Chains A and B, each alone.
Chain A
Amino acid sequence: KQEVTQIPAALSVPEGENLVLNCSFTDSAIYNLQWFRQDPGKGLTSLLLIQSSQREQTSGRLNASLDKSSGRSTLYIAASQPGDSATYLCASHNAGNMLTFGGGTRLMVKP
């Protein structure tokens, strides 16, 4: 059974800092890995999708990497802004047609 862990559980940084969120998974036989953002009381917004054959994906100030052999993915946020404050969730897509989520990292970017 796939297990996904996100570290740290919470992170507070001053505006302008670059930061890295970590995601690890136990079963490397994944189809893809998806990063989501969730604002309080809201649904999930997809940020980046990395296919199994890819190493990274970029969108604006966000860059996500995937290393299947080590069971890790990272989400890099450049020049953080207060509007980036949210919970960030990673999810692996394995056989069985379901996503397995980590517990999330709650990010606070202070002005």
Chain B
Amino acid sequence: DTGVSQNPRHKITKRGQNVTFRCDPISEHNRLYWYRQTLGQGPEFLTYFQNEAQLEKSRLLSDRFSAERPKGSFSTLEIQRTEQGDSAMYLCASSLSGSSYGYTFGSGTRLTVV
């Protein structure tokens, strides 16, 4: 198992374009999370899946953001009509169910909106 994998590592896009990021979690982990981190800040929760069900969404997740996890495996995060304020590091994490398990994070996707 190679851990949590995120693609692409970097994405530069023009304002108004749509972008999509992919996350492949650790295969036996049924929980998958998306976080956003801006420069100098700690990561902030965006959304969480248990298997294929999206169980929780932060108020940070505007209607321009959509996340999916078909078949409970990989996940995609799409941002429509990107704005400069969307520039950030988007981090994906996975874990097993249960409060005793820690999270494993991927290397992140750095988005720059110009």
Contact = CB atoms under 8 A, between A and B. Distances in A.
Given A43-B91, A98-B48, A31 B99 contact: yes
Given A98-B56, A102-B42, A32 B110 contact: no
A62 B40 CA distance: 24
B43 to A, nearest CB: 5
Summarize B's interface: helix, strand, loop or mixed: strand
B42 A98 contact: no
Given A31-B100, A43-B105, A46-B103, A97 B42 contact: no
Given A46-B104, A97-B55, A98-B48, A103 B31 contact: no
Contacts of A41: 110
B99 A36 contact: no
Summarize A's interface: helix, strand, loop or mixed: strand
Interface in A8-66: 31-32, 34, 36, 41-46, 49, 51-52
B7 interface: no
Given A44-B91, A89-B42, A96-B56, A34 B105 contact: no
Contacts of B102: 32, 34, 46, 49
Contact of A32 (B31, B41, B55, B100): B100
Contacts of B107: 42-43
B42 A34 contact: no
A68 B50 CA distance: 28
Contacts of A42: 107-108
Interface of B: 6, 31, 33, 35, 40-45, 48, 50, 55-56, 91, 93, 99-100, 102-108, 110
> Which 4 pairs across A and B sit closest by C-beta, in order of nearness?
A101-B42, A31-B99, A43-B107, A49-B102
6 contacts: A43-B108, A46-B103, A93-B103, A101-B43, A101-B44, A103-B41
